[in-house]
Amino acid sequence: MEKKFLFFDIDGTLTTGGMGSFIPDSARNTLKALKKNGHVVAIATGRPYAMSKDVAKDLEIDSFICNGGNTVVYEGEKIYNEPLDQAHVKELLRECIAFGFPYCISQADDFFFLTKDMKALPKLDNDFLSQFIQEADFDPEHLTQVKRLMIYVNKEEQKKLTSFPDLVPQRYDDAYVMIEPDDKFKGIKKMMEILKEPIEDVVVFGDGENDIKMFQQAPISIAVGNAIDELKALASYVTDRSDEDGIQKACLHFGWISPEDISK
C-alpha cells in the first residue's frame, strides 16, 4: 500500500463542533489503523500551538500543523515557526488607532492576548475569550512577534480597514474580527519539504472556511458532511460527519484501511 500523509483539521472535522467537542471512537480507531498501516497521521489546525498539542497528545499524534499553517511540529519538535507579516500588522494597528477600534495582540504560541486598555474593550456575549485578555503597556510600532490580532469592530465598520494585503480576517463573532494565519497548506508543504517527501502523497480533511486554501492545493481533499458548501465543491470526496463515522468511511473508500483493520 502506498504511504499517505493524512492531515486532519480538528474542530468540525475530527469533531462535529468547536473547541471542547468530542472526537468519536470511530475516528480515533481509524487514526490508529492508519498509523498501523504505515501512513503518517497529522493534525492541520488553525488553533495556536498551546491549544493543539494536548489534542495531538490525546490522539497519540506527534506531528501537526497549527497556528493556521505558520507552525510545524514533527515528532514532537517545532521545525518551523513564524509570526504574521509584522509590517502589515503595524499598518493595520495604525488604522485601528486612527479609527478608534480597540484591539488585542497575541505574541506567543498560545491564546493569550494583550491590550493597552481593558476598559476600552466591549463586553463580549461569549466570555470565553475575555479570560485570555490581559492589560499591558506596549508600543505598537515596536512589535516584532505578533501571531494574532483581535480587533473589536463590526462588519460594517470593518470596511474602513484596508491594510489586509496578506492578513486574513476571520469573523467568529459579530463584535470582533480575528486576524490570523489561514494557509494551513503552507505548513504542510514546509513539512513535506523538510522530510523530502512528495507533495502528491498528501491528503487533507476539513470542514470550514480556513480549510479552503488546503483544498485548493492538496492532491486529495476530503470534506466531512457538515462542511460548508464551498469546501464540498472543492473536495475530491465528500464523506459523512465524524459522528456518523465519516472519517472511517472515507479511509475505507480509498483503501487506506480495511474492515479487518478496524474490527481488531
**C-alpha 263, offset from chain centre:** 31
Which residue, 217, 211, 172, is CA-closest to 9? Answer: 211
Query: What does the alpha-carbon distance between residue 239 and residue 233 come to, in Å, rounded to a whole number?
Result: 13
Residues 6+ apart with CB under 8 A from 256: 1, 4, 6, 34, 37, 39
pLDDT digits (tens, 9 = 90+) for 12-37: 999 988 776 899 999 999 999 999 99
Query: What does the alpha-carbon distance between residue 128 and residue 130 come to, in Å, rounded to a whole number?
Result: 6
Query: What does the alpha-carbon distance between residue 152 and residue 174 come to, in Å, rounded to a whole number?
Result: 9
Residue 25 buriedness (CB in 10 A; 0-12 / 13-18 / 19+): exposed
Q: What is the pLDDT along the chain (264 residues), one digit of tens a residue?
A: 689 999 999 999 999 887 768 999 999 999 999 999 999 999 999 988 988 999 999 999 999 999 999 999 999 999 999 999 899 999 999 999 999 999 999 998 887 999 999 888 887 655 667 788 999 999 999 999 999 999 999 989 998 998 766 667 788 788 889 898 889 999 999 999 999 999 999 999 999 988 999 999 999 999 999 999 999 999 999 999 999 999 999 999 999 999 999 876
3-state secondary structure 130-167: HHHEEECCCCHHHCCCCCEEEECCCHHHHCCCCCCCCC
- Residue 73 DSSP class: E
Burial profile 57-87: b = 16 or more Cβ within 10 angstroms, e = fewer: eebebebbbbbbbbbbbbeeeeebebbbeee
Q: What is the pTM of this model?
A: 0.88
The pLDDT mean for the chain works out to 91
| Lateral strand order in the sheet of 113-115 | 133-135, 113-115, 103-106, 148-151, 176-179, 169-173
Neighbours of 259 (CB within 10 A): 8
Query: What does the alpha-carbon distance between residue 198 and residue 132 come to, in Å, rounded to a whole number?
Result: 40
